[in-house]
Chains A and B, each alone.
Chain A
Amino acid sequence: DSGVTQTPKHLITATGQRVTLRCSPRSGDLSVYWYQQSLDQGLQFLIQYYNGEERAKGNILERFSAQQFPDLHSELNLSSLELGDSALYFCASSRTGIAGYTFGSGTRLTVV
């Protein structure tokens, strides 16, 4: 157990729908990162939050958004889902913002 908790583990939904993925970082970690892993694109950085504030943005689509709450858990919202959004979504956390952050086990999203 890495200490980073992601729920749900699996999610199946239809195109056009909206889903929310949840991440609880390791105790004491202030930074949360979201990554998407697909077969054709590999692991892609989406967005980072640090202590509630957006810190960095990667290849995140406008249909996707995220936030980090006062208790430091984070949610990734995916809307107007397309078949191509099917992927593994990973959350990672770290204390100082880098230095080998710890990944959760991921949420497997299947859009049908």
Chain B
Amino acid sequence: GESVGLHLPTLSVQEGDNSIINCAYSNSASDYFIWYKQESGKGPQFIIDIRSNMDKRQGQRVTVLLNKTVKHLSLQIAATQPGDSAVYFCAERAGGGADGLTFGKGTHLIIQP
């Protein structure tokens, strides 16, 4: 079936550098996308979202880019900090009124000192 997937299972970056986490999705009917951060022992934490009628959205130190042509989503984290170490998930909503999200497998972001 259709699924959301992540290109890299682990991403290691230097503290202070920018991070880019990528996500491919396959459901062209998806109308809403979210990035979540999950730290060890905790539930997923909302970071930023974007609707399918947008191609870019910025938050505090984070930017989400959506390319519907190639069904690609990315999360950019500026000036990464040790507290950014976590697993990051992209998730999509299929549209048509269904609210359940389909999550990708996750990317483990490791911040090197």
Contacts and interface: CB of A to CB of B under 8 A. Distances in A.
Contacts of A98: 32, 93, 99
Given A42-B104, A42-B105, A43-B89, A100 B99 contact: no
Contacts of A45: 100-103
Nearest to A98: B99
B45 A103 contact: yes
Prevailing SS type, chain A contact patch? strand
Interface string B64-100: 0000000000000000000000000101010000111
Contacts, number: 51
Given A42-B106, A99-B49, A33 B99 contact: yes
Contacts of A92: 43
A104 B100 CA distance: 16
Contact of B100 (A2, A48, A102): A48
Interface of A: 2, 4, 31, 33, 42-45, 48, 55-58, 90, 92, 97-106
Given A45-B100, A101-B46, A106-B42, 15 more contacts: A33-B99, A42-B105, A43-B44, A43-B91, A48-B99, A57-B100, A58-B100, A90-B43, A97-B99, A100-B34, A100-B46, A100-B49, A102-B46, A103-B45, A106-B43
Interface of B: 32, 34, 36, 41-46, 49, 89, 91, 93, 98-106
12 contacts: A2-B45, A42-B103, A42-B105, A43-B103, A55-B99, A56-B99, A90-B44, A100-B34, A103-B36, A103-B44, A105-B41, A105-B43
